[in-house]
Amino acid sequence: MGIQISPSILNSDFSRIGHELERISSADWAHVDVMDNHFVPNLTLGLPVVESILKVSPVPVDCHLMIEDPDRWAPAFAEAGAKSVTFHAEAAAAPIRLARELRKQDARAGLALKPTTAVEPYLELLPEIDMLLIMTVEPGFGGQSFLESMLPKIRRTRQAVKDSGLDVWIQVDGGVSVKTIERCAEAGADVFVAGSAVYGAQDAAASIAELRELAAQ
Ligand code: DX5
Ligand code: ZN
């Protein structure tokens, strides 16, 4: 599939969400962060708002669920039309069953790992998922600094995906910017979430193009 850019709308202006989504129409995805104030210490938006976003988004929606009990809540996001639904390994009771349910709803199934969660115990799930999300900040807030120490984890994940022969995407999320994206790409990531880097720029399209170019090198 190659390099993909998924701008996070977390730091966009929610009073003008339609306009904010139009700003990223040259991206591959719109990354929507769902937080429940339990799994992470922040509260953002839930299914009704995601449904509104789905109606107007010019690009497919990539839902990142930072919530407790994704087994119960995640399938509804796929049913609503999100083309990619990512849940956290730390929160899921039955990740294989959940991933299968998401795929049955025609969504890509993503498995996310917090920075302190090792990837190795989850590698046996590779045939069941479409994407592994390696968090490069502690989930909860936009605008944090990229954790350099995640680069070896990305590298090990890429090697494991390569060895498996499967087409599982590797997404990075947190502190991805023109300063860090090249190192993420070099380590093996191929789907890049960027929140403040894109929405903090005057020209979001130019920022997406620049990120894409740097990642492709
Ligand atoms: C953080 C979220 C991210 C966040 C990224 O928990 O999952 O998607 O919006 O924002 P930046 O790119 O500013 O780190
Ligand atoms: Zn996210």
Q: Is the pLDDT of residue 1 over 90?
A: no
| Of residues 32, 85, 19, the one with CA closest to residue 58 | 19
Tell me the average pLDDT across 108-132: 98
Burial (0-12, 13-18, 19+ Cβ within 10 Å), 107: buried
188 annotated among ligand-binding-site residues:
no
The answer to whether the CB of 84 falls within 8 A of the CB of 74 is no
**Residues carrying an active site annotation:** 33, 173
Q: Is the pLDDT of residue 78 over 90?
A: yes
Q: Is the pLDDT of residue 109 over 90?
A: yes
CA of 142 to the centre of ligand 1 (A): 4
CA of 127 to the centre of ligand 1 (A): 27
Q: Is 33 in the pocket of ligand 1 (CB under 6 A)?
A: yes
DSSP SS3 for 160: helix
ipTM for the complex shown:
0.99
Task: Report helix angle 47-56 to 70-80, nearest 10.
Answer: 20
Q: Is 28 in the pocket of ligand 1 (CB under 6 A)?
A: no
Tell me the average pLDDT across 68-90: 98
CATH architecture of the domain with residue range 4-216: Alpha-Beta Barrel (3.20)
pLDDT tens, residue by residue, 162-216: 999 999 999 999 999 999 999 999 999 999 999 999 999 999 999 999 999 999 9
CA of 42 to the centre of ligand 1 (A): 12
The H-or-E segment that residue 135 falls in is: strand 131-135
Q: Is 200 in the pocket of ligand 1 (CB under 6 A)?
A: no
Q: Is 12 in the pocket of ligand 1 (CB under 6 A)?
A: no
Average pLDDT, the chain: 98
